[in-house]
Amino acid sequence: MTLFDTTLRDGEQSEGISFTVADKLKIAQLLDEAGIHYIEGGWPGSNPKAVDFFKQAQKLKLRHARLVAFGSTCRAHLSPAKDPNTQALLKVATPVVCIFGKSWDFHVTHALKVSLPKNLEMIENSIAYLKKRAEEVIFDAEHFFDGYKGNPSYAIEVLRAAERGGADILTLCDTNGGTLPTEIEQIVRLVREQFKSTLGIHTHNDAESGVANSLMAVQAGCRHVQGTINGIGERCGNANLVSIIPALKLKMGFSKVVSDKQLKNLRHLAFHIAEIANLVVTDRTPYVGRSAFAHKGGIHVSAILKHPRTYEHIEPTHVGNTRRVIISEQSGMSNLVVKAQEFGLPLDKADPRSQMLLETVKDLEHQGYQYEGAEASFELLMHRHLHGKKRPFQVLGFRIINEQHREDEKLGIEATLRVKVGDQLIHTAADGKGPVDALSRALNKSLLAYFPQIASMRLVDYKVRVLNTREATAAKVRVLIESADDERAWITIGVSENVIEASWLALVDAVEYKLLKSK
């Protein structure tokens, strides 16, 4: 089984994605470390950046992967020896060349505008020419499944022409991405019966079946799988190798497709390449997403404590992920037990305080709190309920003053604050760019002399969500504040009909959490 990655070519055709040459070199190195067998670097006949990449890629010390240059068959009126695109493929001197040719008669007559026999000749001659000059030639039969459904005998003839030319791998492409898994399996089985050459599969995700189609093709006999990291690609994307790789290794018996160590690096690979592409790996991404092994329902958590397989299809550490237990109004005592263990807090199920904590969580969630996104506030809540821990400072009150003397004058914001630390009463004022900024500055100003560790704390993100929009300006809001220091980041929450109060509650929790973790 071989893996062929086309993130640098097909993936870059995704809307909004454009890699620099430096980006492509970094991604190639990551793919090699991940155990990918083929890295398609681009189409040297189409743009100078691809040529520059292949030139610089010669300096890469790849241990697993072979670089692949991509292109098309020669043009109808030119021989391969005189075709500029064919010569561009050879000029970059990659060990492997991949070319595509039309396998759908509709495309041959309407897009290429050549005869069906001429198309077969172009395919066979191009592959034969390249095979004499490259170590390996892969043929991508473009639109193969649409072509087979429209004219099966001609689609097969295209593969025969490629085989006669000497192609090492015949890749069946679902270029429009509209074929369904049952069709893929049936067609691949029929093709497998007629060819001895290695068959490959290349699918797109336009019908949300890219991964399923790839796996069904493997089940039917393909032993070469093409795709991209995170499924990026033109239109709806390509088959996602991040989902395909663990399925092949852990579920389909191809245990050597990548090593165990490489599989454990899968999550890092997905996130690293997403960062380079300026994308986000969504929480619900299978295998590697933050929510892929997150458990919220109390019954579910109770079961996974007995055995993780009750609600997990694989061990999350196999792909570099972790198990998470979420606290919400759906939580049971098992959720609290797991979270207490994570926080290093002893929790006795029989203790009345534990049951009171569970009821408090459900009540607060009903009010609009959502602790699954604000675990720092939840940890503080556990400390208060289970151990009676009190805040190391006491807020006696605050006031926000907004001043604007003329219509064209910038609004001035000042926060005054009264705080008590031990027996000391501190009365402080601070200006800010807005009310929350002014409050944050005033709080820091008040506490810095007593708690110098807060100097390293900074606000990273601030989010407000209206919870009941029908109430208009009287609606309740939820504020999430993400804070960080040099060692960690944490999220706290506040809920109120008053956005300033909600912000203040989250802000005070953020400072208290910093002090808790600084001991």
Return the pLDDT at 468: 74
Q: For residue 457, what are the CA distances in angstroms to 398, 438, 442, 448?
A: 21, 16, 14, 11
DSSP 73: P
pLDDT band at 406 (very low <50, low <70, confident <90, very high): low
Cα–Cα distance, 476 to 499 (Å, whole number): 8
**For 134-169, how does the pLDDT look when each residue is reduced to its tens digit (9 = 90+)?**
999 999 999 999 999 999 999 999 999 999 999 999
Start-to-end CA span in the chain (Å): 53
User: How does pLDDT run across 419-465, given as a tens digit for each residue?
Assistant: 999 999 999 999 988 888 999 999 999 999 999 999 999 988 898 98
Q: How many Å apart are CA 195 and CA 347, to the nearest integer?
A: 64
Does CATH place domain 2-258 in 1.10.10.10?
Answer: no
User: Position of tokens 């001043």?
Assistant: 403
The predicted-structure confidence for 215-258, as pLDDT tens digits, reads as follows 999 999 999 999 999 999 999 999 999 999 999 999 999 999 99
Nearest Cα to 89, choosing from 79, 101, 74?
74
Q: Model's pTM, two decimal places?
A: 0.75
Q: Which CATH class is domain 394-517?
A: alpha beta
Phi, psi of 177 (to 5 degrees): 70, 20
354-394, pLDDT tens digit by residue? Answer: 778 778 877 887 788 877 778 899 889 888 877 778 889 99
Model confidence at 469: pLDDT above 70: no
- pLDDT by residue (tens digit) across 324-358? 776 555 556 667 777 777 777 777 777 777 778 77
In this predicted structure, the answer to whether residue 104 has a pLDDT above a threshold of 90 is: yes
* Euclidean distance between CA atoms 496 and 504, whole angstroms: 10
CA distance 175 to 101: 12
β-strand 412-421 against 394-403: which pairing, if any?
antiparallel
Average per-residue pLDDT for the chain: 91
CB-count exposure of residue 357 (10 Å: 0-12, 13-18, 19+): buried
Domain boundaries, the chain: 2-258, 394-517
Asked if residue 519 has pLDDT above 80, the reply is no
CA separation (Å) from 504 to 24, 177, 366, 463? 45, 50, 20, 13
Q: Centre a 10 Å sphere on the Cβ of residue 199 and count the other Cβ atoms it contains.
A: 22
Q: Do residues 45 and 73 lie in contact, with contact meaning Cβ atoms separated by under 8 Å?
A: no
SS3 421: strand
- When comparing pLDDT for 322 and 347, which is higher? 322
